[in-house]
Amino acid sequence: MTQPPRLEVTHLAKSFDRRRVVDDVSLSVMPGQVTCLLGPSGCGKSTTLRIIAGVDRPDAGRIAVDGALICDSTTSVPPEDRSIGLMFQDFALFPHLSVAQNVAFGLGRGRDVAPRVAEMLARVDLPDYGNRYPHELSGGEQQRVALARAIAPRPRIMLMDEPFSGLDDRLRDEIRDQTLDVLKAEGTAVLLVTHEPGEAMRMADEIALMRDGRIVQRGAPYNIYNTPVDLAAAAFFSDIN
Ligand code: ADP
Ligand code: MG
C-alpha cells in the first residue's frame, strides 16, 4: 500500500462577502517534504493556511492528516488537536519569557521538558541561549528560537506564512537553509506560503501555483519553471532572484 500524504487538502472553498477567495483548492504534502503555496499578494494563500490550521472554517472541501479526516462539512477537529505547528512573520516570541521558557511553551506542564528544550536549542545552534530574553537576541536569532518553539511539540505538519520576509537578504538565505535542515531532520511535512518564486524554487519539493483563489499548476520546481502553464505563470517566474 502506498503511504497517504501527511497533509491532503481537497476541493477547499471559502468566500468573504460572496467573493470566492479560495476556489476549489487541492494540494498535498508528503512526510518530510516541503510544498510551497506560491502566488502574488491577495491570491488567497493565508486564508488557505488559516483554514488548514483550523482557525477559520471552509465553506466546502476536506482536509486529512495521515489519511484521517480532520475537517469537512460536518467535522472540525480543534486547532490544538491537529498536530500542526505555525510560523508566521509576526508570530513573535513572548518578550517576558526567557528563550528556554519560550521553547517550552507548547510542551505542557508537569512533564520534564528540559531535555527537549535543550535538544531544540542545540538544533538551531543556540545551545547556550536558554536564559536570555528575546530583546537580547538579533532578528535572526529570534527567528531560530521561534523555529525551535514551533517544532518542540513535534507537530506532524508545519505551516509557514512568509516567515522569512522580515529578515535582511544576507540573513534570509542562511535562515532559510537552516530552517530546512532542522525541519528535514525532524521529518516534519512543511507547507510554506510565499509570494517569491525564488524562495519557492530554493525550498520546495513541490510547488502549488496559486492565482485568484485557484491552484493553476502543481509540480516539481523545475518542471513549473521550465513548463509554465500559461503566459502569466511565465511572467510571474521571470522576476526570480
Ligand atoms: P494572500 O495571503 O495570498 O496575500 P489572503 O488569503 O490574505 O491572500 O487574502 C485573499 C483575499 O481575501 C484578499 O482579497 C483579502 O482582502 C480577502 N480577505 C482575507 N481575509 C478576509 C476577511 N476576514 N474578510 C474579508 N476579506 C478577506
Ligand atoms: Mg498572506
Residue 62 pLDDT level (bands cut at 50, 70, 90)? very high
Burial class of 137 by CB neighbour count within 10 A (0 to 12, 13 to 18, 19+): middle
Residue whose Cα lies nearest atom 25 of ligand 1: it is 16
Task: Report the pLDDT value the prediction gives residue 175, as an integer from 0 to 100.
Answer: 84
Kindly give the number of the ligand 1 atom that is closest to the alpha carbon of 41.
4
Residue whose Cα lies nearest atom 7 of ligand 1: it is 46
Specify the 3-state DSSP secondary structure of 192.
strand
Percent helix, percent strand, percent coil in the chain, to nearest 5: 35, 25, 35
Q: Which ligand is nearest to the CA of 45?
A: 1
C-beta separation of 181 from 34 below 8 A: no
C-beta separation of 123 from 149 below 8 A: no
Q: Is a pLDDT exceeding 80 seen at residue 210?
A: yes
Residues with C-beta less than 6 Å from any ligand 1 atom: 16, 21, 39, 41-47
160 alpha carbon – ligand 1 mean position (Å): 17
In the chain, what percentage of residues exceed pLDDT 70? 98
Residue whose Cα lies nearest atom 5 of ligand 1: it is 44
- 229 Cα distance to chain centroid: 25
Nearest to 60 by CA among 10, 114, 128, 3: 10
**What would the mean pLDDT of 4-16 be, rounded to a whole number?**
97
Q: Is the dihedral of CA 107, 109, 114, 115 positive or negative?
A: negative
31: CB partners within 8 A, 6+ apart: 3, 6, 156, 187, 189
106 alpha carbon – ligand 2 mean position (Å): 24
Kindly give the number of the ligand 1 atom that is closest to the alpha carbon of 40.
3
52 alpha carbon – ligand 1 mean position (Å): 15
C-beta separation of 35 from 191 below 8 A: yes
167 alpha carbon – ligand 2 mean position (Å): 16
Q: How far is the C-alpha of 213 from the C-alpha of 23, rounded, in Å?
A: 5
Task: Report the pLDDT value the prediction gives residue 36, as an integer from 0 to 100.
Answer: 98
Kindly give the number of the ligand 1 atom that is closest to the alpha carbon of 49.
6
Choose the weakest-confidence range: 42-51, 160-169, 200-209. 160-169
Task: Report the pLDDT value the prediction gives residue 64, as an integer from 0 to 100.
Answer: 97
Task: Report the pLDDT value the prediction gives residue 111, as an integer from 0 to 100.
Answer: 66
ipTM of the complex: 0.98
pLDDT, tens digit, 9 for 90 and up, residues 77-116: 999 899 999 888 766 899 999 999 999 988 877 668 999 9
* H or E element at residue 69: strand 68-71
Q: Number of H helices and number of E strands within the chain? A: 8, 10
Nearest to 14 by CA among 40, 41, 52, 64: 52
Task: Report the pLDDT value the prediction gives residue 110, as an integer from 0 to 100.
Answer: 62
42 alpha carbon – ligand 1 mean position (Å): 6
Task: Report the pLDDT value the prediction gives residue 32, as an integer from 0 to 100.
Answer: 93
Task: Report the pLDDT value the prediction gives residue 33, as an integer from 0 to 100.
Answer: 95
C-beta separation of 59 from 13 below 8 A: yes
Kindly list the distances between the CA atom of residue 167 and the CA atoms of 27, 120, 142, 150, 173, in Å, as whole numbers in the listed order. Answer: 28, 21, 11, 18, 9
pTM (2 d.p.):
0.93
